[in-house]
Structure formats: C-alpha cells, structure tokens
Structure 1
Amino acid sequence: MTVDLVPIQGSLDSLKSQVKGSKLVIPSISIGNVPQLSADLFIHNLQTKLVAQLDSTYLYPFASPVDYVDNGKQVDHDVGVSTALELYYNEELNLSIIQQRSPILSDYSQNFLDYLVSVVTELEFNEVLLLDSNDHALKTDLNYSDPIELYSNDLNERFKSLNVSNTSNLDKAKELFTPFVSNLIHNLNNTTTITALLIYVYEGDNFYDAELFTKKALDVLNISIPSNFQKPKSWGGVYGDRPIPTGYEEGLFG
C-alpha cells in the first residue's frame, strides 16, 4: 500500500526517508479551533518547512494564499497555494506537523481516519501527539484551574511535572476526548507511541487558549518554548480587524 500524497520536492521515497522516525503532531477540528490554531503556532514559530500536500479527498474543498508571519522579512514559498491538509517538518527538532484547514465531509469520518492511520504507518513516524479540544461545560471534575487533560500509552515520570491530569486508561480517554480523536487513539494504540492532549475551552476568542495549549504541547515534546509567539497573518481578521468601539459616536458595533 502506498499512501496518497504529493511531496513538495523529490519523490515519495525521499519524503519517507526524511520524516521517518520523527514525532508527528495531529490537530483535530474541534471547539474553538484551538488545535488548528496551535498547529499554526507550531508551524510559524519552529521554522518548519512544507514537505507534502496530503490527500484532502474527504475534506471540504479549500485553497488559500500561503500564510506567513508579518515580521518584515521576505516571504519565500515553494508553493503559492495552501491546501486543506498539509505536512510540515523541522529537521533539527525531528518534528512533523499536520495542519488540517477544512472540516471532514459528512459521512466520511471513518475514511479520513483510515487515511491518517495510513499516513502514520506508511511514513513510519516514531510518536504521535494528538491535539484536541472540548466544551468547558463538559469538564466533570472541580479543578477548573487546570483545563488540560493528557492521555498516553507510554506514561513516564516526565509527564508528572507537566501539571496536567493524565491517564493511560483507554476507557477514560474515550470519555474525555472527542469521538474522532478517541477513535484515532483506538486505531493507533497498539502500534504507535501516542500522547493526546485535550483542552477545555469556551467558544469565542481562543487565541489565548491556543498559546496556553501550545506551551503545554511543547512541554510534552520537550521543546523550548518561545518567549513570544509569532502569529500568522491570517489571525489578524479572525475576530475582526478594527479596535473595539469606545463611545456611542463610533457606533454600538464599530
């Protein structure tokens, strides 16, 4: 079986050789889009490079200009269009990141899940970190100061220092995570080292949640946290690009 994807440069074999043995980050499409926002922060703060466009057959059609950080530096892109599902890589960190920019088509969740499993298997990633978010109203314990949960099939002493609730129980993970991520954990659990992070959030301006979540994910991966996150240009208009009105003369809604 050959996984369906398009390497940006070189052949499929050269891509496999490049990313084999690396850790892979996979975001879910879930409440507040926090996992996607977190993947953006990974991509734009860890000097990643786009290495492949993945098969987006089971996602809603999507295309956009290539996103970038507006920091005065010249933007250099190997491709001119971003697609719905892409793979990025940082050689120094030996880290791969999938960014999913479009929801799954109705009734095709299982097909898409099977495809992601084939990507993990065929490209021989060493570990997988799943990023997920859920409604804060569903948080069942009373520790509201800690909105992050962790599942791993390889819990070790290092996780105890992360100040998150953690479990290695599959049934517990099924209760905590969204259905798609729960199924992905189930499908990969016996063949791959998996860690899954979940953050409870309310729908709204979730940029702060994304930064908090990304810091915790970097902790899990044992990667240094940037002092300040650079945000991509696309974030500028997500919640409007004008300041909040300060008086009636500016109108109730700006």
Structure 2
Amino acid sequence: MFVSTEDTAPSFKGFTLILPAVSVGNVGQLAADLLISTLSMPRVGHIHSACLVPLVGSDPYSEEPAQLSTSAEVYSRGDLKLAVLQIRTPVLQTKTKSFRKLVVSWIKSSAFSRTVLLSSSHAHQRDDQQLRGSALRHLLTPPLEEQVAQDLAQLGWTELERVSAFPGISDSEQRLYVPGGGITKGLYMDCCTERVPMAVVLVFCSEGDNIPDAFALCNHLNNWLHLVEKPAQGPTPWRTPPSWRLLFGSGVPPLLY
C-alpha cells in the first residue's frame, strides 16, 4: 500500500516508474540510488508491506539526515514525469507472489504510462549466445513492445535470449531464465498477463564491487529515456549519494596496529 508523505496523494498519471529488483550484486538498487541522487528527487511516500524485510535507517541521500528511511520509498519529479520506487530490503520468500501482486496493482491504479525494472543476473550462468556482445539485455511486455521496440533496435539494444529448457538434450523448447534476478521473471510475466507496459533492463554480473555495473546500467537506460543531459565529451555526470562512502564498511581501525 502506498502511503503519501502529504495529506493529498500525488498523481502519477502518465509518469514513468523505475524500480529495482533485489538481485545479484544489488545493481538495480545502486542504479536507483544514482538516479535519485543525480536528479535530486524528493521523497513523496513509501510502500507499506509485510512482504518486505523491515528496515529503518538514516536518509541515504543527505549529508545531515533529517528523516528516517524505510524498506521501500517513492521519489518523484513532476517536471520530469518520473517516479522511482527504491526497494532496500529483500522480499520474504513466502511473500514473493503477494508482493508482485501489490506492485502490479499499484502500477495499474496509479496509471503509470510505463514501468522500467532494473535488474541483474548471474554472469557465470550465461549460455553461449549470451556471451556475445554487451553484458546488457532487455525485455519488453507486449504493450510496451508495440511502442518502443523500434527505438530500442535503433539504439542497438539486445533482447534477453531464451535458453534451452533441457540443455545438452534438446534445443527445441526455450525458456526465459534470469538466475539471481529475484522477482524479475515473475514480475515480468505478471505484467505480460496484466497487459502492463513494462521494460526489464538488466546486466550480467557477479557479486563484488558492483558500482561499475550500476553506472553501466544507468548509462544504458539514459540512452533511451534521456533523464540526464550527456556532455559532448566525457562521461555522464552521475552523482553518488553520501551513503556510498560506507558501502564497504568504514575501513580498518588504526588502533588495531
């Protein structure tokens, strides 16, 4: 259930929604952090759900946190017609279907024009065809495919390849396979069934320092949505949030030596 920070809930009609899947390397969440921080998006509410592991912490986007953050919060920019749902904790294993149903219901009731799910998948479980070219892939539900498939083809985007259901035995039956992707496949299939315009943008990666993967995912997304102006020369000026300074802990205490 969406809970607004204001007495009157904001209207998301016609907005683009971006949200991460809690997946390998947490790349989607890191990419959402970059978008929220770079675009200075204010918080407009949170998602209250028993499907997520509870969390309360400091505001990750402020040098001097004045408010607490929770498991799933919504940030928005009306001038950009953009909303980002940042999910900070895993979905409980017994509640994945319920959470997907909640998300799809909120997307439909809010009348978002399209949804983009940022995700990742285990690099070591790619098959031969997925080893070719870029590590970035996408999926489109039928309603969005009708609108943007040609644009993405012009950008040179690669659709996520289906893999053999019985590798080494038969290649006749193909299936969608997103190992390490969390709710990615399930939410994509739900949106296909419900005719929700949604794109999945994912990167093959491994656990470790996944900051470069997050930058690559944001740059890839920005080539399509043009959220941040690209300079004529040099990289896109993504701004990292203050919380990233402690992404790998606070370092070794000098008193140990």
TM-score normalised over the length of structure 1 = 0.82
Deviation sequence 1:92-145 (CA, Å, 0-9, x none): 110111000111123111111111111101111110101110110112226454
Contact (CA 8 Å) 2:114, 2:198: kept in 1 or not?
A: yes
| Distance verdict in 2 for CA 1:219–1:111, change over 3 Å | same
Deviation sequence 1:163-199 (CA, Å, 0-9, x none): 3312698x97722473621111111124221111110
CA distance in 2, matches of 1:201, 1:168: 16
| Distance verdict in 2 for CA 1:52–1:112, change over 3 Å | same
| Distance verdict in 2 for CA 1:179–1:76, change over 3 Å | closer
Gaps of 5+ in 1: 244-249
The alignment status of 1:38 with 2:31, answered yes or no, reads yes
Displacement of 1:61: 1.0
Q: Which amino acid is the alignment partner of residue 95 of structure 2?
A: Y
The alignment status of 1:125 with 2:112, answered yes or no, reads yes
| Distance verdict in 2 for CA 1:123–1:31, change over 3 Å | same
User: Percent identity, aligned pairs only?
Assistant: 22
CA distance in 2, matches of 1:176, 1:84: 24
CA distance in 2, matches of 1:126, 1:62: 30
Number of residue pairs aligned between Structure 1 and Structure 2: 233
Displacement of 1:156: 2.5
TM-score normalised over the length of structure 2 = 0.81
CA distance in 2, matches of 1:108, 1:131: 20
Deviation sequence 1:5-47 (CA, Å, 0-9, x none): 21011223xx2xx211101011000000000000001110112
The alignment status of 1:21 with 2:14, answered yes or no, reads yes
Contact (CA 8 Å) 1:59, 1:84: kept in 2 or not?
A: yes
Q: Which amino acid is the alignment partner of residue 4 of structure 2?
A: P
CA distance in 1, matches of 2:238, 2:175: 30
- 1:174 aligns to what? 176
Q: Which amino acid is the alignment partner of residue 40 of structure 1?
A: D
The alignment status of 1:152 with 2:178, answered yes or no, reads no
CA distance in 2, matches of 1:94, 1:223: 10
Out of 240, 243, 248, the position equivalent to 1:239 is 248
CA distance in 1, matches of 2:118, 2:237: 21
| Distance verdict in 2 for CA 1:66–1:22, change over 3 Å | same
Q: Which amino acid is the alignment partner of residue 151 of structure 1?
A: L
The alignment status of 1:201 with 2:210, answered yes or no, reads no
Q: Which amino acid is the alignment partner of residue 50 of structure 1?
A: R
The alignment status of 1:217 with 2:221, answered yes or no, reads yes
- The farther-off stretch of 158-167 and 131-140 is 158-167
Contact (CA 8 Å) 2:178, 2:184: kept in 1 or not?
A: no
The alignment status of 1:62 with 2:21, answered yes or no, reads no
| Distance verdict in 2 for CA 1:220–1:105, change over 3 Å | same
Task: Provide the secondary structure at the position in 2 that maps to 1:25.
Answer: strand
* RMSD of Structure 2 on Structure 1 (CA): 2.7
Displacement of 1:203: 0.6
Task: Provide the secondary structure at the position in 2 that maps to 1:166.
Answer: coil
- 1:229 aligns to what? 238
> Structure 2 matches for 1:74-89, cutoff 5 A?
80-89=67-76
Contact (CA 8 Å) 1:173, 1:182: kept in 2 or not?
A: no
Out of 60, 80, 95, the position equivalent to 1:93 is 80
Out of 157, 161, 166, the position equivalent to 1:164 is 157
Task: Provide the secondary structure at the position in 2 that maps to 1:107.
Answer: helix
Q: Which amino acid is the alignment partner of residue 9 of structure 1?
A: E
| Distance verdict in 2 for CA 1:66–1:172, change over 3 Å | farther
